[in-house]
Amino acid sequence: MTDANPPKVQLRRKSTMGQAVEKPQDTRGTLRRLLDYFARAKRLLVALLAAVLAVTVTSLLTPALQGAVIDAIQARAWDRFGLLLGCLLAAFAGNIAVTLAQGLLSARLSQNIVRRMRYDLFRKIDNLPIAYLDRHSNGDVMSRMTNDIENISNTVSQSLGSLVSGLLTVAGTIAIMFWYCWQLTLITLVTVVLTVLVTKGMSHRMRTAYRQRADALGRLDGHAQEMISGYRTILAYNRQDAVRAEFAEISDTLTREGIRAEVLGGSMGPLMNAISSLGFVIVAAFGGYFALRGLITIGVISAFILYAKQFSRPLNEIAQLFGSVETALAGAERVFALMDQPDEDNAGTETPDHVTGNVSFRHVNFSYLPGKQVLYDFNLEVHAGQKIALVGATGSGKTTVVNLLMRFYPVDSGEILIDGQDIRTLRRDWLRHNTAIVLQDTVLFSDTIEHNIKYADPGADDARMIRAAEMSNCAPFIDRLPQTYHTFLKQAGAGLSQGQRQLLNIARALLADPRILILDEATSSVDTRTEQNIHDALVRLMKNRTSLIIAHRLSTIQDADVIVVMDKGRVVETGNHEELLQKRGAYYALYMAQFAGQKT
C-alpha cells in the first residue's frame, strides 16, 4: 500500500453552511485571454463579423423599405411602389442568406477556438506536477476539459454572432430612429434606461450562480469517477447505500445551484419582454399624437413600430444570452485557472553519457504539506548493482523515497545524487529514461498488449518485447489468448486478473532496460507461485543494475544486499537479512510478526 501520500483537497472553494462560495472573479482578465484565442482565428473572425454586419444592414433596411412602401401606397405613387417592393423582397432574401452564413461561420469559429483550448489544456495537464494531481479530484480536472470547454463552444457558436449583431442593430436602430423623429426616439429610450438597470442588477447574481453551478458539477463528476473506478470495493464492503446517499447529497447541491442559476438566467427574458411591451405602448401613444400634429407620416409610424420592436428584440436576446455568456466565462475562468498552474519542474540540463547506477540520499528532509514532515534527515548510499530493500510499516516513508528519486516531488532540503551528480542538475527526461518503476497500482491502457508492453520503448522490436514477456513470466498467458500480443485490452485490462496485469507492468519495465530499477510492492498482487517466477526473473534482471525494492512481504527481499528498515520517516536499521535478525530489533519484530500471521 502506498504510504505517506498527500491528502486530497478540493479546488478553490470553501464551505459556508453547506453552500459552495466563490472567490472574487477576474472577468476582464478572462475576457482578455479569451480574445487571445479569437485573435488566432483572424480570418474566420473577420468573415463572421462581415456576415454579422450584413445581417445588421439588411435588418435595418427592411423597416425603412416597408415604411416607404406604405407611404407610396398612401400617395398612390405606383411608379415607386414596384421598385420599393422589389428592394424589400431582396432585403428579406439577403437577410436569410447572410443569417445562414453567420450560423455556419459561428460554428466553425467556435470549434476552432475550443480545439485550441482543449489542446492547450491537455498539454498543461500533461505537464502538471504529480503533486497537483495528488491533491485534486480527477473528475474536477476532467470537468474542465469537457463541461467547461463545451460551455465556451456553445456560447461562441450560438451566442457570439447574435450578441455582436444585436449590439450593432441597437446602435443602427437608434441612429435611424433619431433621423426619423428625435422627439419620439428620446421618449422610447426610457426603455433603455430600464434595461440597463435591470441587467446591472441581475448580472452579479447570475455570475455567482453560474460559477457555483460549475463548481458543483465538477464535484459531482469527481465523485462519480471515483465511485465508478472503485465499484468493486464498494460492492465488496456493501457500501452501496452510503455511496448513494453521498451522491444524492452532492446531486441535490448541484440541483439547487442549477435551479437557482436557471431561474436567474430565465428571468431576464420575461423582464426584457415586459420592458419591450412598455416600449410598444410608448411608440403607439406618442407616435399617434405626433402623426396628428403632422410631424411624421403613417409610413414613418409603421417603420418606427418595427424599429422599436427591432430595437427591443436585440435587447431581449442579449439579456437571454447573458446567462450563457456568464456560464462560458465561469467555465473559461476554471480552464484558465488550471492552465495557470506551474508546470512540473524541468530544471537541469546535464545528460551524462554513461550511468553506473550509484545512488546517494544525503540529509534529505521532505514534507508533502507544510508542518507535516515525512522524511527526517534521510541518508542512504546505494552502490551500483546493489539490491536495496526498503521495509517498514505503512506510512513510514518508503514510497516517498521513490517519489523523490524520480523527481515527482522536490526535496525540502538535502540532496539526491546519481553517480555523484545532483538529480536537480540532470534533465528530467534523461533521469526517467534511465529509471524504470513498477508501482503497486497497475496501470494499463485501452490498447493492445503489444502497445502496452512497448509503452516503455515504442521503438523496440518484437523480439525484445517477447523476451521481456518471457522474463516476466507473462508470455504463457499471452500465448493462450486468441490474438496473443495483438489482443486489445478493454477498460485498461478489465478482462485480466490483477496478477496478470501486474506481470504486464513488469514486462514493460523489463523492456525499458534501465540502469536503476524501482519495485514498489510490485509482487503484492500475485499468488505465491507467480511471485516466485517473478522473483527468479528479477534476479536475472537486477544483475549489474541498481535496484530499490519496497515490500511488505519480507520473504521477497531476504536475498537483498542491504535491507533498510524505516519508521516514521527515519532509518532505524540497516543490514542484510541475517544481520538484522541477529540484532533482534525492528526488522526482527516485523519478521516474527509477519510469519506469525499478525498484522504488520
Query: Tell me: the pLDDT tens digits for 178-193?
Result: 877 777 777 777 776 7
Grid cell 439588411 — which residue?
A: 58
The whole-number average pLDDT for the span 123-148 is 79
3-state secondary structure of 468: helix
Question: Residue 172 — very low, low, confident or very high, per pLDDT cuts 50/70/90?
Answer: confident
pLDDT for residue 100 = 87
What is d(CA 553, CA 594) in angstroms, rounded to the nearest whole number? Answer: 8
Strand 19-21 versus strand 14-16 pairing type: antiparallel
Question: Residue 9 — very low, low, confident or very high, per pLDDT cuts 50/70/90?
Answer: very low
Report if residue 401 sits inside a domain. Answer: no
Beta bridge partners, 566, equal: 392, 571
Q: Do 114 and 152 contact (CB within 8 A), yes or no?
A: yes
The whole-number average pLDDT for the span 147-160 is 76
- CATH number of the structural domain spanning residue 156: 1.20.1560.10
Q: Which of 513, 537, 564 is the last residue of a domain?
A: 513
Give every CB contact of residue 319 below 8 A, 6+ residues apart in sequence.
Answer: 195, 198, 199, 268, 269, 271, 272
CA distances 119 to 138, 300, 447, Å, are 18, 54, 22
Report if residue 162 sits inside a domain. Answer: yes
- How high is the mean pLDDT of the chain? 77
Beta bridge partners, 571, equal: 566
Is the pLDDT reported for residue 214 higher than 70? yes
Report if residue 431 sits inside a domain. Answer: no
Q: Write out the DSSP string of 537-580.
A: HHHHHTTTSEEEEE-S-GGGSTT-SEEEEEETTEEEEEE-HHHH
Q: Given phi > 0 = left and psi -120 to 50 = alpha, else beta, which region is 553? A: beta
Report if residue 376 sits inside a domain. Answer: no
pLDDT for residue 560 = 82
What is d(CA 432, CA 441) in angstroms, rounded to the nearest whole number? Answer: 19
pLDDT in tens, 511-566: 887 888 888 776 665 566 666 666 666 666 666 778 888 877 777 777 788 888 88
Based on its alpha-carbon atoms, the radius of gyration of the chain, rounded to whole angstroms, reads 35
Q: Do 211 and 249 contact (CB within 8 A), yes or no?
A: no
What is d(CA 38, CA 396) in angstroms, rounded to the nearest whole number? Answer: 51
- CATH number of the structural domain spanning residue 506: 3.40.50.300
E strand intervals along 45-101: none
Is the pLDDT reported for residue 600 higher than 50? no
Is the pLDDT reported for residue 366 higher than 60? yes
Q: Which of 513, 534, 553 is the last residue of a domain?
A: 513
Q: Is the sign of the CA dihedral 238, 244, 245, 246 positive or negative?
A: positive
On whether both 302 and 448 belong to a single domain, the answer is no
Give every CB contact of residue 1 below 8 A, 6+ residues apart in sequence.
Answer: 394, 440, 521, 552
What is d(CA 74, CA 299) in angstroms, rounded to the nearest whole number? Answer: 9
The whole-number average pLDDT for the span 23-34 is 68
What is d(CA 255, CA 216) in angstroms, rounded to the nearest whole number? Answer: 9
Q: Do 55 and 98 contact (CB within 8 A), yes or no?
A: yes
What is d(CA 476, CA 464) in angstroms, rounded to the nearest whole number? Answer: 16
E strand intervals along 269-426: 359-369, 372-382, 387-392, 413-418, 421-422
Is the pLDDT reported for residue 8 higher than 50? no
Q: Do 272 and 323 contact (CB within 8 A), yes or no?
A: no
Is the pLDDT reported for residue 319 higher than 70? no
Report if residue 152 sits inside a domain. Answer: yes
Is the pLDDT reported for residue 599 higher than 60? no
Question: Residue 280 — very low, low, confident or very high, per pLDDT cuts 50/70/90?
Answer: confident
pLDDT for residue 540 = 64
DSSP state letter for 22: P
pLDDT for residue 50 = 85
What is d(CA 265, CA 202) in angstroms, rounded to the nearest whole number? Answer: 9
Report if residue 591 sits inside a domain. Answer: no
On whether both 447 and 334 belong to a single domain, the answer is no
Worst-scoring range by mean pLDDT, 24-28, 369-373, 412-416?
24-28
Strand 546-550 versus strand 435-438 pairing type: unpaired
Report if residue 16 sits inside a domain. Answer: no
Please state the domain count of the chain: 2
**The one-letter amino acid at 161:** G
Q: What percent of the chain has pLDDT over 90?
A: 0
Q: Do 202 and 196 contact (CB within 8 A), yes or no?
A: no
Report if residue 522 sits inside a domain. Answer: no
3-state secondary structure of 127: coil
Question: What residues make up the domain containing 246?
Answer: 27-339
Question: Residue 16 — very low, low, confident or very high, per pLDDT cuts 50/70/90?
Answer: very low
Q: Do 514 and 454 contact (CB within 8 A), yes or no?
A: no
pLDDT in tens, 241-259: 888 888 888 888 888 888 8
Is the pLDDT reported for residue 2 higher than 60? no
**The one-letter amino acid at 573:** E
What is d(CA 268, CA 283) in angstroms, rounded to the nearest whole number? Answer: 23
Is the pLDDT reported for residue 326 higher than 70? yes
Is the pLDDT reported for residue 588 higher than 80? yes
What phi and psi, each to the nearest 5 degrees, are found at residue 354? -135, 140
Question: Residue 316 — very low, low, confident or very high, per pLDDT cuts 50/70/90?
Answer: low
Is the pLDDT reported for residue 345 higher than 50? yes
CA distances 471 to 282, 435, 485, 509, 524, Å, are 88, 18, 15, 11, 18
pLDDT for residue 15 = 34
Q: Which of 286, 309, 339 is the last residue of a domain?
A: 339
Strand 516-520 versus strand 435-438 pairing type: parallel
Grid cell 448513494 — which residue?
A: 244
The whole-number average pLDDT for the span 265-279 is 73
Give every CB contact of residue 539 below 8 A, 6+ residues apart in sequence.
Answer: 559
Is the pLDDT reported for residue 158 higher than 60? yes
Q: Given phi > 0 = left and psi -120 to 50 = alpha, else beta, which region is 389? A: beta
